[in-house]
Each structure stands twice: as structure tokens, then as C-alpha cells.
Amino acid sequence: MQEIIARMLAELGEDPSREGLRDTPKRVEKALRFLTSGYTADVDAVLNNALFTVDYNEMVIVKDIDYYSLCEHHLLPFFGKVHIAYIPNGKVIGLSKIPRLVDVFARRLQIQERMTNEIAETIREKIRPLGVAVVCEGTHLCMAMRGVEKQNSFAITSAMLGAFQSDARTRMEFLELIKRADVGPLRRSLLRAEHDFVETPDAFG
Ligand SMILES: [Zn+2]
């Protein structure tokens, strides 16, 4: 991989042998391996020993989980916060494991919509809750850095499964609770959006 990165630097008009770039291929490879380590992560190993049987069926919410991902169209970062809720049906996930679960899907080449769905589907599959909701907000550098319509560099995606899909009151309860977080743009958008609000930045090739 380092050879390819050195070649890319030359293609960009750089001199890969100059002092500042000498170790860049090595660093870039290391960074990319880390940022895509979700491909080799094992969801079951991540959740190992952290699925608990409980007699609790109130909504569990974990909000403001930071994530960093790479858009698959430009290999540039998109990042922001994920808010997750589920209603247990006999099983819960240890709270500390939920951000790690987010990392499994964020550390890949992604689109925000798919990442949102993958997180929701995995929680559904692993603990069969009565419902799962995932709302993800992201700033996309591939849009922001090019100055393409600044407002389009921010996107909100959501996945609502089970009770969150079928029951408007449950969904609203979740949206109300995450609105209280200190997430300005999300708060404004949620005022306009009841559910399944998806605002995708236009791809630009
Ligand atoms: Zn992109």
C-alpha cells in the first residue's frame, strides 16, 4: 500500500522523497488501516459478555455518541453524533458497548444512511428489542471543504424499527429526549421533522 501512496503523491505533483513526505506513505497506511478497522471487527466479540437479561422494558437511550467515518465516494471524513434508543424485550446491551458498536460501522468506507441502518439492524438482531431508533447527524468534509452549498454539508439520517416505526408516540418521546442534547442543528431540524427525516448531501461525482 505504501508504494501506491508514494505514487499517488507523485501524481499529485509532489516529491515523495522530500523530507516532510518521506514517512507519509507509512503514516497514511497506518491511518487508513485504523480508520477502516471496522471491516475486521467482530460484532460478537465487541458485545461479548455484555448482553444482560433484565426485567426492564422502558426506553434505553444513549445519545451524543461521537463517530468519525469516511465517505465512500471521496474517502474524506464525515463525522458527528449518533443517538440510539431501544426498548428491551428481556435483554439489554452494556451501555459502554454501544459506542464501540458504532465504531464497528463507522470505521469503514461508508455512507451515512447505511451506517445508520447497520447500527439499528445489528441491535435488532442481537437483542430482539421491541423497537430500535437510531438518529445520526454528520458533517461531510467532501461537501464543506469544497464550499459546495455549505448548508448541504450537514445531514441527518434515521432508522426507526419496531415500536419506533409503528408508534408515533414512542418515536416522539425519543425525538423529544434527544432534542434536549446540546446539538443545535439537530434541534432545529427536528422541529421540522417528525420522523424518518433524511437530508442527504447531493453527491458531486
Ligand atoms: Zn463524499
* Residue 83 annotated as catalytic: no
| Average pLDDT of span 172-199 | 58
Model confidence over 102-144: pLDDT tens digits?
999 999 999 999 999 999 999 999 999 999 999 999 999 998 8
What confidence score (pLDDT) does residue 148 get? 65
The pTM score is 0.85
C-alpha closest to that of 135 among 69, 81, 200, 184: 81
Q: Which domains does the chain have, with CATH numbers?
A: 2-35 (no CATH), 51-192 (3.30.1130.10)
- Whether 72 is a known active-site residue: answer yes
pLDDT > 70 fraction of the chain, expressed in percent and rounded? 86
What is the pLDDT at residue 179?
84
Name residue, grid cell 464525515: 78
Taking alpha carbons only, the member of 115, 113, 100 closest to residue 42 is 100
Q: How far is the CA of 70 from the centre of ligand 1 (A)?
A: 8
Given 118, 136, 137, 142, the catalytic residue: 142
Angle value at C-alpha 30, between 97 and 15, nearest 5 degrees: 150
Centre of ligand 1 from the C-alpha of residue 1, in Å: 22
* Confidence class for position 153, pLDDT limits 50, 70, 90: confident
Q: What is the pLDDT of residue 145?
A: 87
CB 5 within 8 A of CB 28: yes
Residues with CB under 5 A from ligand 1 (ion): 71, 73-74, 142
Strands 77-87 and 154-162: unpaired
110, 118, 136, 140: the active-site residue:
140
**Inter-CA distances, 8 with 1, 21, 136, 141, 146, Å:** 11, 12, 33, 21, 21
Please give the pLDDT value at position 151.
Answer: 57
What value, to the nearest 5°, has the Cα angle with vertex 55 and ends 59 and 160? 30
71 among known catalytic residues: yes
Instruction: Give the helix, strand, coil percentages of the chain, each rounded to 5.
Output: 45, 25, 30
Residue 196: what are its φ and ψ, rounded to 5°?
45, 35
Question: How far apart, in whole angstroms, are the C-alpha atoms of residue 155 and residue 177?
Answer: 19
User: What's the average model confidence in pLDDT over 155-183?
Assistant: 89
Q: Does 25 have pLDDT greater than 60?
A: yes
Q: HSE-up of 149 (CA within 13 Å, CB side)? A: 9
The Cα 97–Cα 116 span in angstroms is 17
